[in-house]
């Protein structure tokens, strides 16, 4: 098929998708550290994708803003042709589906598309725009060079980093090891009273123009403005940035009252892997705050512990960046759990990713 890349995805009538088994492999990422900083020099990043999972979905746009001494020095922005496409069999779909789908025709008059109408409506990006865009290997190499070894800033930035990490690894055999700052985490701490902390929520709170949302470069500018507002808020409430960061690091571990974390329902599934199990956390989680993870555990019929004891069944390891007790790369909780396991105790040490697999075990 002229102009298209190698990976074809076949869409059947019942919506099942057949893809290469290589995309189902679990990925271990050696990412950089999640930092607590309000830096003067950094690069803001944002991407748009065809979906939420880098194993199955593709990057369709990348952008970045390089900041030096708190001033924007340069920008990068490009659409990216996805490395997969969907083939339409007109005999399998009714006309209503075809009418609402922005699709293209190849040289043999076969219909295909990269993104569905939801992504187009959300971002304004069309299949024709993507067809005319540069291939991933070329544009992402330029993007990788633009990032260099800068500290990266983003809102829910782990999402962006995971996609970029996997693509850089696949295309160039390189790991994205840049340290990063997540404005979502900073927002959650500074504004505990807000119910939601999405980029649109924080933009509304600070009166930041959000009219061009869901395009990568626009979201970079919004995130950069949000970082400035968060810094101003931290200064007003804590007097100086050092005091704010010190408080944040301390409260990340010590502010949770376990007695207040009670089940939101009592209809437990006794086959759930966390049911009646005692779980302890160490390090900061990347995808949710610790209190949210603890709530999921008790909602599953599990129990939460502060320290590792003989009664502990699972120790969940988060990102250890915020842990002040790190020695030789391991927290005291992890060392104690390892000793108990060697002594024959019923305790397992889980990575954060494995924990997420357990809470979504079905």
Residue with the two structure tokens 């924007």:
72
Q: What is the pLDDT of residue 252?
A: 57
Residues facing 86 on adjacent strands: 9, 113
Q: What is the pLDDT of residue 27?
A: 58
Q: What is the pLDDT of residue 254?
A: 52
CA distance 139 to 82: 11
CA distance 245 to 35: 10
Q: What is the pLDDT of residue 302?
A: 93
Q: What is the pLDDT of residues 73-96, one digit of tens each?
A: 999 999 999 988 888 765 555 545
- pLDDT, mean of residues 251-278: 80
CA distance 278 to 289: 19
Query: Distance of CA 354 to CAs 223, 315, 316, 357, Å?
Result: 30, 11, 9, 5
CA distance 183 to 199: 9
- pLDDT, mean of residues 153-165: 94
Q: Which of 188-197, 211-220, 243-252 has the lowest mean pLDDT?
A: 243-252
Pairing of strands 71-79, 59-68: antiparallel
What is the CB-side half-sphere exposure of residue 135 using CA atoms within 13 A?
7
Q: What is the pLDDT of residues 43-69, one digit of tens each?
A: 999 999 988 888 888 999 999 999 999
Query: Of the candidates 362, 348, 213, which has an alpha carbon nearest to the alpha carbon of residue 278?
Result: 348
Mean pLDDT of the chain: 83
Q: Which of 141-145, 213-217, 299-303 has the lowest mean pLDDT?
A: 213-217
Q: What is the pLDDT of residues 219-261, one digit of tens each?
A: 999 999 999 999 999 999 999 999 998 887 766 555 567 878 8
Residues facing 330 on adjacent strands: 327
Is the separation of the CB atoms in 334 and 300 below 8 Å?
A: no
CA distance 55 to 19: 10
Q: What is the pLDDT of residue 324?
A: 39
Torsion of CA 290, 294, 300, 305, to 10 degrees: 140
- pTM (two decimals): 0.66
Judged against a pLDDT cut of 80, whether residue 291 lies above it is answered with yes
Query: Distance of CA 104 to CAs 101, 110, 114, 132, 134, Å?
Result: 10, 8, 9, 12, 17
Is the separation of the CB atoms in 45 and 157 below 8 Å?
A: yes
Is the separation of the CB atoms in 37 and 153 below 8 Å?
A: no
- pLDDT, mean of residues 302-321: 86
Q: What is the pLDDT of residues 312-358, one digit of tens each?
A: 999 998 864 434 344 455 778 888 998 898 888 889 888 888 888 88
293: three-class secondary structure by DSSP:
helix
Q: What is the pLDDT of residue 186?
A: 93
Burial 189-221 (b: 16+ CB within 10 A, else e): bbbeeeeebebeebbebbebebeeebbbbbbbb
Q: What is the pLDDT of residue 11?
A: 39
User: Measured on CA atoms in the order 246, 252, 253, 258, is the torsion positive or negative?
Assistant: positive
């Amino acid at each position: 098929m002229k102009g298209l890349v190698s990976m074809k995805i076949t869409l059947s009538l019942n919506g099942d998708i057949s893809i290469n088994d290589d995309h189902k492999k679990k990925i271990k990422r050696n990412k950089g550290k999640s930092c607590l900083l309000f830096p003067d020099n950094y690069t803001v990043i944002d991407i748009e994708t065809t979906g939420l999972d880098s194993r199955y979905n593709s990057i369709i746009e990348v952008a970045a803003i390089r900041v030096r001494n708190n001033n924007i020095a340069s920008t990068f922005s490009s659409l990216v042709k996805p490395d997969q496409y969907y083939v339409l069999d007109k005999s399998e779909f009714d006309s209503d589906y075809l009418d609402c789908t922005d699709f293209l025709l190849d040289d043999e008059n076969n219909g295909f598309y990269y993104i569905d109408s939801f992504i187009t409506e959300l971002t304004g990006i069309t299949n024709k725009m993507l067809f005319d865009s540069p291939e991933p290997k070329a544009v992402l190499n330029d993007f990788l060079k633009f990032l260099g070894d800068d500290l990266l800033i983003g809102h829910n930035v782990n999402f962006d980093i995971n996609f970029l990490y996997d693509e850089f690894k696949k295309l160039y055999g390189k790991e994205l090891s840049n340290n990063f700052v997540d404005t979502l985490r900073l927002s959650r701490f500074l504004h505990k009273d807000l119910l939601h902390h999405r980029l649109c929520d924080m933009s509304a709170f600070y009166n930041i123009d959000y009219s061009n949302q869901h395009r990568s470069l626009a979201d970079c500018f919004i995130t950069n403005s949000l970082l400035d507002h968060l810094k101003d808020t931290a200064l007003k409430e804590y007097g100086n940035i050092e005091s704010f960061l010190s408080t944040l690091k301390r409260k990340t571990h010590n502010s949770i009252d376990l007695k207040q974390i009670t089940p939101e329902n009592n209809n437990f599934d006794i086959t759930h892997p966390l049911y009646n199990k005692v779980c302890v956390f160490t390090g900061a989680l990347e995808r949710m705050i610790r209190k949210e993870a603890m709530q999921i555990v008790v909602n599953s019929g599990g129990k939460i512990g502060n320290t590792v004891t003989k009664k502990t069944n699972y120790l969940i390891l988060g990102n250890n960046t915020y842990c002040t007790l790190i020695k030789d790369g391991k927290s005291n909780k992890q060392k104690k759990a390892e000793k108990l396991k060697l002594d024959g105790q019923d305790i397992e040490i889980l990575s954060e990713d494995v924990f997420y697999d357990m809470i979504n075990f079905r």
